Amino acid sequence: MGVEVISVSVDSQFVHKMWNDHELSKMVNKDIPFPMVADGAGNVGKVYGVYDEDAGVELRGRFIIDPDGVIQAMEVLTPPVGRNIEETIRQTQAFQHVRATKGSEACPSGWKPGKKTLKPGPALVGNVWKEWTPNNDL
């Protein structure tokens, strides 16, 4: 898919090393394959709107950023619930498809690679029902 991952928390790079060495590397049987950023003062989290001032930690914010540096998608969860990486991959593939078609195609709800896209234009107005319904698997 060609996506670079960057993780950020308020822990120092030294704690990131310890977490990698003592726990994460045991989950995946190798070193974490992406940079783990230290944002102790929450400066990065603040501009992304994910820094919790009261708790002094960052929320589960997830941003898909395109090659022009534009944020295409964001999701923020409070700490007790984890993310669904499958959905992140699906959204990224959809945005990559839209970019590859230079915006001439759009991905309807639930779209996955190989499924039907829509071509926005005058002919489609009022006719989406012919192309797509919530239940079909085109």
Partner 1 sequence: MAEKSGGCARPTGARVGEASPSKENNQPQSMIEEEIFMTAKVGNKAPDFTAPAYYKGEFTEIKLSDYLGKWVLLCFYPGDFTFV
Contact residues: partner 1, CB under 8 A: 1-20, 23, 31-41, 43-50, 55, 57-74, 79-83, 88, 92, 96
Q: What is the DSSP letter of 131?
A: H
Name the residue nearer to partner 1 (CB basis): 105 or 131. Answer: 105
Name the residue nearer to partner 1 (CB basis): 91 or 131. Answer: 91
**Min dist. Cβ of residue 127 to partner 1 (A):** 27
Contact 51, 58 (CB under 8 A): yes
**Min dist. Cβ of residue 98 to partner 1 (A):** 12
In 10 A of CB 95, how many CB atoms?
17
Round to whole Å and give the CA distance between 34 and 137.
35
